[in-house]
Amino acid sequence: MQFLAPAALAGLAAISLPVIIHLLNKLRIREVRWAAMRFLQAAVKKNQRRVKMQDLLLLILRCLVLAVIVFAFARPTFEKIEKSTLVAGDPLTVMVLLDQSASMGASDGLETRFAAARLATLNFLEELPSGSAAGLLLVNDSYASPVSRPSRDLSLVRRSVELAKLTDRGTDFQPAIRAAVEALRNLTGRREVHLFTDNQLSGWHALEAVREFLKTAPDIKVVIATPGSGPADAGSTGNLAVTNLKLDTAIPVAGQPIRVLAEITNTGETPANGVRLTLSVDDDPPSADAVISDLAPGGTRYIPLLVRLPGTGFHTLTATLPPDRLAFDNRRTLALEIAPASDVLVVESRRGPALWQGSGHFLASALAPVDEEAASRHYLHVTRTTAADLDPSKLSGYTVIFLAGADALAPPMVTALASFVNDGGGLVIMPGDATPADIFLDAPWPDLLPAVINLPVEPSQSGVEPGPYNHPLLTLWNDPGAGNLNALRFSKVFTLAPVDAPGVSTALRLADTSPVIVERTVGKGRVVLFAAPPVPSWTNLPLHPAFVPLVHRLYAGSARSSSLKLNLSPGDTFQAPVPIDQLNRDVYVRGPAADAKTVAVGRTELVATQAMLAVRNTSEAGRHAVFVGQNERPDFYFAVQSPAAESDLKTAPADILTSGTAPVAGAGASATPAAPPPYAPLLTAQQLWIFALAAAAFLSCAELFLALRTSRSS
Amino acid sequence: MAATHTLLDPDTLSRAEPLGMFARRVVEGYRVGEHRSPFNGFAIEFSQHREYSPGDDPRHLDWKILGRSDKYYIKQYEQDTNFVAHLLLDGSASMSFGSGKVSKIQYARGLVACLGFLILQQRDAVTATIFDDRPRETFQRTDSLGKVHQLCTQLTNFTPGRPGNLRACLQDYAARLSARGIVVIISDLLDDPADLLQGLRRLSLTRSEVIVFQVLDHEEVTFPLEGNIRFIGLEDDSRLQTNPADLRKSYLAAFNEHQQAVRRACEQCGVHYTLCDTSRPLAEALTGYLAFRSKAG
């Protein structure tokens, strides 16, 4: 048997205390003159032996209690302690890396991986040889450095480990390992980096870079410990995750059905069947649900859900799965802003005085597919005009301008349009019969257009390319339930030659691969170019069922989008403009937890000419409410979404840094058992310590019982 | 001369006075409303005959007349002399023990004084003896209430200090007892119950009524002591060091066994037994006993 803290054995001297107290009690005698001595003598004669035995037994018990307590503090162990590793030997300079990424929240039913890693870290720190120094980095997709350099104040490091919390952030081991090695590089003596983690495979995406970097510090040993990541972890028992949540409706409108797509991934090893997915708006009870069935391990499925949002402004949608072993990915929140009604301008050419004779008639009808009475209440206010009537000074009032077979525009008007786009406006160009192709050669058209417009031709194949489509404009038709574009025909098209410029992409091609829809980002705005006008003489698109949703998606894709980024990754900064009169006001945030408190995070500041608020270091996944000043209602909502890769609990082998080959994600690396932690002797010592304390408690109870029975106080 | 001087010693007188006053107060308190003596006399003299009538006690029939004349006559007596009460007070060293306000001897002195006052007040005779291993002090027979003060003085002057021998003293007293009377023994009875039994048996042969008051201290009855204690015997100077808590159970067992033996001895000899705990007021113990005796007739 060995002792981890042999100095504590000096406490055995305390055993003399009961003996001294016993002797002192014997000396403290009172004299009483007594008449009934004969009864007393009879009692003494009868009990003397028993009383002496009890006295002796009590004395032994009291000594034993002290001895066992001292024994416990000496931390006995039956297992041989590796002299070369920890307890004995030279002092160690170590950087401890504790993984606090979201995947560490996986539970085996008793404790999370993070709790196990934290406990193992504390045990490791406790067993460091005297004179050792330790630093602490908390690993996520970046790293936090509570103790950035090795310190001999191990209590500070232990305290920092105790205060460390699980985050909803992703995993990337590279930055933390680099920082740890750099912290040790210029020191002398035994230097090691100990990483306490679940060794998630996705955290090693920069494995080769890490290996190369470690070659620059060959005398620094890196040890990976995976406490709590046994074979019976969450990965092998099943984990269903909401890995994405996105809108599938072009223009979300208050009170109208909104289609939301929830991406559900089965990262466990058992099929998911009959699992209920719910979707709730803001803090309300779920308003939509769906049942997921037959989702194979590793499989992903998009679940469409329909909800209605109660009004304009900021809202959040939260998809929720039933609880499983990994809690963080059972919920995902999407924040969105429902804008009020927008103004849209359709510039057309007219063959007669009636509106239906305009080339933009089908387009205008699709943008606001309601009668005249309801048009004023529609969320898109459509204004129709001709190129001649266009007023360049009024363009900024519109979100999107459609040139639907319009006549040639005057150069000042084109300049105004360029300015409109650069400021964030959307421009959709549909050249037609009245639009000569050569006008687009003049400046500033080439800087605006995503493609060079050549003369119209009759295409060799009038149909469009079959799906699936990757461009957001057309992904709706990847769902067979939404119809398809097979019947779409173009009898005549302008020949488009996409320009070689950044931000240019082709959304749709004809079956002969000639582009039909090309878009380009210009300044803060976007320009979409169609190869044909929305008139039946060119294409049957205006008569096709896909026309209305396509037009709305076209509008949504090119509309002057809000600069607000409402859906963030953990660690991102939320920024939003506020009215100038709210400058220097306090900014408060309430997190997503049910018992979250509203906390001040700073003040609104002036950035350039705009008053802005900023919420930095967002970490907790879910809905965050932002208040400016003393406002009772939140001014903004934003959502923090954990990286989907964290849901994949596949682990890398413990010797990943030294083995020759890099593991392939999804190649079943999770089955690789984690290497046994090198701290087994320490755990044994801890267990014996507990047993010794239990024995002390038992002996104390026995002593108390005997003392009460013989009426002696301790 | 010396004795007289001692008796008239102002200090002694002043110490005896409270005892006499106490006895008077207790007895007067008991006598209020009472007209019949609790102690019935034995020394009676023939007065006259009368014819028997149904309901008369047949023990009082005059058998001689019945034998001679075959007629039923009842003998009637009249009380002309008082009975003699013999008050025997244990003055052994063990009686000096006391854990509370009063020691056993103080309690017993009060009891003797009260009984003496009471009996003298009803014009009966009293004699008192204080003994340990042999009779030490004797208060001569008197029927004068005025001698109560002398009785109190003698009781007060006595200081216990020697070991007792109850059997020898009782047997000796019984041998000297010339006529029937009432013998009142006041002692802690911590001697061997067998000795008590022999003494009582000898006394009962005198056909006197024997009454025993056992005076015990509360600590002797309950043995509540704690801590390490060195006990020193009051009569034999023996020493014993122990923790009473260890022995409480055994002590109480031995004590209760002794008490049962004492009661048994009293029952066997037809002796009326009364236990007096010094923690109870004397008046309460005495009036309780006298009330019981009055009812018993």
Write the CATH number for A580.
Answer: 2.60.40
Chain B touched by A24 (CB under 8 Å)? no
**Any domain includes A708:** no
Residues B58 and B199 in one domain: no
pLDDT of the residue at B280? 87
**Any domain includes A701:** no
Query: How close does chain A come to B251, measured CA to CA in Å?
Result: 5
| CATH code of residue A175 | 3.40.50.410
Residues B73 and B174 in one domain: no
Residues A365 and A430 in one domain: yes
Nearest to B28 by CA among B286, B292, B247: B286
Overall average pLDDT of the B291-296 stretch: 68
pTM over 0.90? The answer is no
pLDDT of the residue at B188? 93
| CATH code of residue A280 | 2.60.40.10
The string of pLDDT tens digits covering residues B153-179 is 888 889 898 899 999 999 999 998 877
pLDDT of the residue at A82? 46
**Any domain includes A171:** yes
pLDDT of the residue at B52? 85
Interface mutation target, options B104, B250, B278, chain A, most CBs of A under 10 Å: B250
Q: Which of B79, B99, B122 is the last residue of a domain?
A: B79
Percent of chain A with pLDDT over 90: 13
Residues B169 and B197 in one domain: yes
* Centroid of chain to Cα A125: 30
Residues A184 and A125 in one domain: yes
Q: Which of A79, A105, A124 is the last residue of a domain?
A: A79
* Centroid of chain to Cα A404: 43
Residues A190 and A263 in one domain: no
**Any domain includes A221:** yes
**Any domain includes B36:** no
Residues A36 and A168 in one domain: no
**Any domain includes B267:** yes
Backbone angles phi, psi at A260, to 5 degrees: -120, 135
Residues on chain B touching A35 (C-beta within 8 angstroms) = 93-97, 104, 188, 190, 217, 220, 233-235
The sign one gets for the Cα dihedral B210, B211, B217, B220 is: positive
Range of the domain at A598: 567-640
Residues A483 and A575 in one domain: no
The sign one gets for the Cα dihedral A166, A172, A178, A179 is: negative
Number of domains in chain B: 2
Residues B73 and B210 in one domain: no
**Any domain includes A335:** no
Residues A412 and A550 in one domain: yes
**Any domain includes B2:** no
**Any domain includes A238:** no
CB pairs under 8 A between A and B: 95
Q: Which of A327, A357, A377 is the last residue of a domain?
A: A327
pLDDT of the residue at A682? 44
pLDDT of the residue at B216? 94
Residues B243 and B285 in one domain: yes
Residues B130 and B239 in one domain: yes
- Tell me whether residues A39 and B255 touch, CB distance under 8 A: yes
Residues on chain A touching B96 (C-beta within 8 angstroms) = 35
The SS3 assignment for A702 reads: helix
pLDDT of the residue at A533? 92
pLDDT of the residue at B20? 53
**Any domain includes B127:** yes
| CATH code of residue B114 | 3.40.50.410
Residues B52 and B160 in one domain: no
Residues A444 and A504 in one domain: yes
Residues B218 and B251 in one domain: yes
| CATH code of residue A469 | 3.40.50.880
Residues B178 and B281 in one domain: yes
Residues A296 and A379 in one domain: no
Overall average pLDDT of the B57-78 stretch: 83
Residues A48 and A112 in one domain: no
Number of domains in chain A: 5
Residues B155 and B202 in one domain: yes
Residues on chain B touching A29 (C-beta within 8 angstroms) = 228-230, 241
**A444 prior amide bond cis, ω within 30:** yes
Range of the domain at B263: 84-296
The sign one gets for the Cα dihedral A68, A72, A74, A77 is: positive
pLDDT of the residue at B23? 53
Residues B68 and B139 in one domain: no
pLDDT of the residue at B262? 94
**Any domain includes B292:** yes
Residues A589 and A453 in one domain: no
**Any domain includes A336:** no
Residues A586 and A661 in one domain: no
A295 with A266: CB under 8 angstroms? yes
Output A486 or B34, whichever has higher pLDDT. Answer: A486
Query: How much is the ipTM here?
Result: 0.75
- Tell me whether residues B220 and A36 touch, CB distance under 8 A: yes
**Any domain includes B30:** no
Exposure string over B244-263, b if 16+ CB within 10 A, otherwise e: bbbbbebbeebbeebbebbb
Q: Which of A52, A79, A106 is the last residue of a domain?
A: A79
pLDDT of the residue at A232? 45
Residues A146 and A279 in one domain: no
pLDDT of the residue at A659? 67
**Any domain includes B37:** no
Q: Which of B60, B79, B98 is the last residue of a domain?
A: B79
pLDDT of the residue at A666? 42
Chain A touched by B224 (CB under 8 Å)? no
Given a cut of 70, the residues of chain A with pLDDT beneath it are 1-2, 4, 78-89, 229-238, 560-563, 659-687, 710-714
Query: How close does chain A come to B11, measured CA to CA in Å?
Result: 28
The SS3 assignment for A20 reads: helix
**Within chain B, where are the H helices?**
2-7, 10-31, 63-69, 104-121, 148-157, 166-176, 193-204, 218-222, 244-268, 282-296
Interface mutation target, options B246, B260, B278, chain A, most CBs of A under 10 Å: B246
Beta bridge partners of A343: A381
- Rounded to whole angstroms, the Cα distance separating B22 from A610 reads 108
Residues B164 and B206 in one domain: yes
* Centroid of chain to Cα A219: 36
